[in-house]
Amino acid sequence: MHKTRLLATALGLTLALGVQVQAQAADRTLLDAVKDGDSVAVQSLLAAKADPNAPLADTSTVLAWAVAHQDPPIVRALLASGANPDAADRAG
C-alpha cells in the first residue's frame, strides 16, 4: 500500500512538472515570436493558450518586449489575450 501511494505521488509530480515544462516552452516560443516581430506566430501561440503574463528570466514580460520594440499589432494581441499592462519588473 505504501509503495502504491509513493508511486502515485511520483506519477502526479512527474505529470505536474511535465505540464509546467511544456508551458514554459510555449512561453519561451511566445517571447521568440515577439522578439522576431512575428505577429502571426504570436496570435497562433496565444490561441494555443501561451501565457502572456508568464514572468521571463529577467522578470520582464512579453508585453514589455513588444512595447520596447514598438510593435503595436503585437501589443494589441497580447493585451487582447489578457496581458497585464501593470505588471512590474525589476525596474518597477
Q: Is 23 part of any domain?
A: yes
Over residues 25-79, the pLDDT tens digits come to: 555 689 999 999 999 999 999 999 999 998 888 878 999 999 999 999 999 999 9
Instruction: Give me the pLDDT at residue 20, please.
Output: 46
pLDDT for the residue numbered 66: 95
Go through 38-62 and write b for each residue having 16 or more CB atoms within 10 A of its CB, e for each that does not: ebebbbebbeeebbbeeeeeeebbb
Domain of 46, CATH number, reads 1.25.40.20
Residue 85: inside a domain: no
Whole-number Å distance between alpha carbons of 5 and 63: 43
Segment (H or E) for 73: helix 72-80
Q: What is the pLDDT of residues 35-44, one digit of tens each?
A: 999 999 999 9
The tally of domains found in the chain comes to 1
> By residue range, what is the domain housing residue 43?
2-80
* Whether the predicted pLDDT of 17 surpasses 90: no
Q: What is the pTM of this model?
A: 0.68
Angle formed by the axes of helices 2-36 and 39-47, nearest 10°: 150
